[in-house]
Each structure stands twice: as C-alpha cells, then as structure tokens.
Amino acid sequence: MTAVDETTTDPAAGSPVNTARAHSHGAGVVPDASRAERVTSFDVADFAVPTGREEEWKFSPLRELAPLFEAAPAGSAAVEVSGPDAVVHRTGTLQEVGAGTAFTPGDRAAVTGWAATAQAHLVSVPAEAELDAPVLVAVRGTAGTTTSGHLVVEAGHHARALVVISHTGSGAHRGGVEVRVGDGADLTVVTLQEWDADAVHVGQHDVLVGRDARVRHIAVSLGGKAVRLSTNVRYAGPGGDAQALGVYFSDAGQHLEHRLFVDHEATNCKSYVEYKGALQGDGAHAVWIGDVLIRAAAEGTETYELNRNLVLTDGARADSVPNLEIETGEIVGAGHASATGRFDDEQLFYLQARGITPDEARRLVVRGFFASIVERIGVPEISERLMTTIETELAATDLAGTSSTEEN
C-alpha cells in the first residue's frame, strides 16, 4: 500500500499514547477503529510529550508549543468576567466550580493545562433566563509566562445566552473550556484569538449539548504565533443541534490550527461545521481537521462539514482534512466538502468591470468570503471589529496580490 501518511510510528520505540493497545503478536499496532478510540484522560501520565510523528500532532509546530507540554505548575492568566446581573460567576479550584463533568483532556497540552490549573471560572446562566446582553470573558496573557486556565460555561434548561471569550496579550497559554448546554437551551459561545504576534495558545473546548438544545460555537483566530484549538461536540440527549463555525486569517510565519470532533451518539441530532480561512505570506500555515463520527446508535443524524481556504500569496500552506466515520445507514444525511483556492478571477473581473478598483474589489471579495460566518456572531461591534481587522491584514498583501491578478 502506498503510505498516505508516511509518519508512521515505530511501535518498538514506544507508541506515544496507545501503548496499552499495542498488540502482542509483534505484527504492529492495531489502528484506532474509529475516532472514538482516541485516548482522553485526566492523568498526565496517559499522554507522552509529542514527538511530531503522532497523527494528531504531525501538523503542529512543536518547538513553539513545547512550554505547554510541561507538567510543572503554571500561573493563571488574568481573567475578567462581566455580563448581565442574572449570570452567576464563580471562581475557585476545578472541583469548586464543578469542572470535569463535560470535559476530559484529549491531548498532552490539555492534560498538563488541567493539572496546572489553580483557579478556574464558572459562568452559569440560570434556567429559563434569556439574556439581553452578552457575557464577556476576557483572558489576558503576559509575555514570558506560561499560564493555564479552565472555564465552565453552563446554560440551564431553556436558557438563552451569548458568551464571548476573548484572548489577548502574550505568553504561552493553555485553556480548557467546558460548555454544558441544558435541555432546550440556546447558547452561542464565541472564542476570539486576538493574541499579540508572539503568543502561543493551545485550547480544548468540549461542548455537551442537551436534549433539543441548540448551540453555536464560533472560533475566530487572527493573532498569535501558534494557535491550536480543539473543539469537541457531544450530545447528552436526542434532538440536539450544534453548529461549529470558524474564521481564521494566517499571516507570514503564523500557525493556526483548528481541530473539530463531532461525536454523534444520540438519535436525531444535527451538526453543521463551517470554517473559512485566508492565508498570506511566507510560512503562513493553516490546519483544519474536521472529524465527524456517527455511531451505530445515532440514527436520524444529519451532518455536514465545510472548510474553505483562500490562499492569497505564495509560500502559504493550507492543510485540510475532513474525516467522516459512519457506523449506521439510518441517517438523514452526511457530507463534507473542502476547497482551497485563490481569488476567483471572474468575481474580480466583474467588480472591476463595474468601475471598482482592483484593491477595492479584492476587499469586497474577501469580505463576502468571511461574511457568512462573521455575521452570525451576533454582536455587531465584534463583527465589525473583525471585518476591520481582516481588511487591515489584507491591506498588507495588496502589492503581491495586485501583481498576480495582472498576470492573468
């Protein structure tokens, strides 16, 4: 067989995570039969420090992320929480805020982050409360420090709320976010990665969707040297509806990685994943992994995943892997799509034919590309600020972009 993935790990040298499953016949390791077999654990010892050969780390810049793999105690990032009066905010140890019921670390950085978290936060929206303003959670890192944090977002049954988590500042940060959506609730969680250019961030967001609940998880990654965000969605009961949306803009030398895993175990649930990204500059790297597993019991599932990359200049690299595992035929539908390309010359031509300058046309096309997701954030100020940031980033490529347009 042709090795599609040539980063096979020598079992004799100690397979990093799944040593427990190494087969005794000496004929090698039994590959995970499905995405569900990936190890999750609260014990640091269950996750070796990644070497880069592992399937789940092979795209990541391990040198940048190295401080986040250390099990040593770390400080807490500065966190500020504000929101309507109805919302309960508590801080305390992981136990005190009731963390860990809907969250299990899934990789080395998540487990060391969990182990090192001294102060966790709980944001709780009471049952049936309908918030008229967003809850804002501001996480700020400090240069030269390694920090960890854990946030529990809880929406009681039939509550309706919008929670915005922003990440700014510098340093190395590990953040666990645990989202529990009560039955019939309607929750939107927006996570903004607007780090300074030298920050590194590994985050794991676990979302548990209650019966007939609706949740939107929106990730926006613009800043940071290296950001790797894993979002896992599970369903606690039938009828749940989850959307995971994302926007990213990767600049020269910047690594932005988003890993999604939607685990359909309950019946009649829906999931929709859509991530859109743009890349520009030398060494700009975007990674998108979208895993969807439909277990045998999850009849009536409807799922779709979409990733689109807009590569604006040479030297950028986009990896896009939409994986789909389906164990039952009794589903409404399942599909995924991934597309990577450059500006659509016809769109640019059309706009220019209407008297719009090339620069302006490019701006409009990019705006349109991201609009479908940005508009769904629900906070006009944030949407507008993001569009402005994206346009500022875009302005930096105008020289390179214009010349390549004129080549055609």
Partner 1 sequence: MTDTVSDTTQELAGPPELEGLGKYRYGWADSDTAGSSARRGLSEEVVRDISAKKSEPGWMLQLRLKALKLFARKPMPNWGSDLTGIDFDNIKYFVRSTEKQATSWDELPADIKNTYDRLGIPEAEKQRLIAGVAAQYESEVVYHQIREDLEEKGVIFVDTDTGLREHEELFKEYFGTVIPVGDNKFASLNTAVWSGGSFIYVPPGVHVDIPLQAYFRINTENMGQFERTLIIADEGSYVHYVEGCTAPIYQSDSLHSAVVEIVVKKNARVRYTTIQNWSNNVYNLVTKRATAAEGATMEWIDGNIGSKVTMKYPAVYLMGEHAKGETLSIAMAGEGQHQDAGAKMVHAAPHTASSIVSKSIARGGGRTSYRGLIQVLEGAHHSASTVRCDALLVDTISRSDTYPYNDIREDDVVMGHEATVSKVSDDQLFYLMSRGMAEDEAMAMIVRGFIEPVARELPMEYALELNRLIELQMEGAVG
Tell how far CA 254 is from the center of its chain. Answer: 16
Does position 342 interact with partner 1 (CB under 8 A)? The reply is yes
Question: What minimum distance in Å lies between the beta carbon of 182 and partner 1?
Answer: 31
Token readout for 367 is 């705006």
Does position 402 interact with partner 1 (CB under 8 A)? The reply is no
Does position 265 interact with partner 1 (CB under 8 A)? The reply is no
Question: What minimum distance in Å lies between the beta carbon of 156 and partner 1?
Answer: 35
Q: Which residues pair with 255 in a beta bridge?
A: 226, 285
Rounded distance between C-alpha atoms, residue 252 and residue 316, angstroms = 8
Per the CB < 8 A criterion, the answer to whether 285 and 256 are in contact is: yes
Does position 19 interact with partner 1 (CB under 8 A)? The reply is no
Rounded distance between C-alpha atoms, residue 135 and residue 394, angstroms = 30
Question: What does the chain come to in residues?
Answer: 408
Question: Closer CB to partner 1, residue 96 or residue 344?
Answer: 344
Q: Binding segment for partner 1 among 118-126, 198-206, 330-338, 358-366 (CB under 8 A)? A: 330-338
Question: What minimum distance in Å lies between the beta carbon of 406 and partner 1?
Answer: 13
> Torsions phi, psi of 116, nearest 5?
-95, -5
> Torsions phi, psi of 13, nearest 5?
-80, 5
Matching residue, tokens 């860990």: 100
The DSSP code sequence of 234-276 is: EESSTT-EEEEEEEEEE-TT-EEEEEEEEEE-STT-EEEEEEE
Rounded distance between C-alpha atoms, residue 385 and residue 375, angstroms = 12
Letters for 26-65 (x = contact with partner 1 by CB under 8 A, - = none) are -xxxxx-xx--------------------x----------
Does position 254 interact with partner 1 (CB under 8 A)? The reply is no
Q: Could you give the residue ranges of the DSSP H alpha helices within 11-120?
A: 62-65, 108-116
Q: Binding segment for partner 1 among 142-150, 178-186, 241-249, 327-335 (CB under 8 A)? A: 327-335
Matching residue, tokens 């590994």: 202
Does position 1 interact with partner 1 (CB under 8 A)? The reply is yes
Figure out which of the listed residues 334, 356, 365, 387 binds partner 1, where binding follows CB under 8 A: 334
Q: Binding segment for partner 1 among 2-10, 190-198, 208-216, 217-225 (CB under 8 A)? A: 2-10
Is 70 strand, coil or helix?
A: coil
Question: What minimum distance in Å lies between the beta carbon of 260 and partner 1?
Answer: 14
Q: Which residues, including other chains, have CB under 8 Å from residue 33's CB and lie 6 or more apart?
A: none
Figure out which of the listed residues 44, 326, 365, 396 binds partner 1, where binding follows CB under 8 A: 326
Question: What minimum distance in Å lies between the beta carbon of 34 and partner 1?
Answer: 8
Of the candidates 246, 231, 237, the one whose C-alpha atom is nearest the C-alpha of residue 264 is 237
Figure out which of the listed residues 46, 183, 198, 327 binds partner 1, where binding follows CB under 8 A: 327
Letters for 286-325 (x = contact with partner 1 by CB under 8 A, - = none) are ----------x--x---------x-xxxxxxxxxxxxxxx
Does position 278 interact with partner 1 (CB under 8 A)? The reply is no
Question: What minimum distance in Å lies between the beta carbon of 286 and partner 1?
Answer: 10
Token readout for 266 is 């309950």
Figure out which of the listed residues 95, 144, 333, 355 binds partner 1, where binding follows CB under 8 A: 333
Does position 4 interact with partner 1 (CB under 8 A)? The reply is yes
Token readout for 332 is 């409404």
Which chain residues interact with partner 1 by CB under 8 A? 1-6, 8-12, 15, 23, 25, 27-31, 33-34, 55, 296, 299, 309, 311-331, 333-342, 404
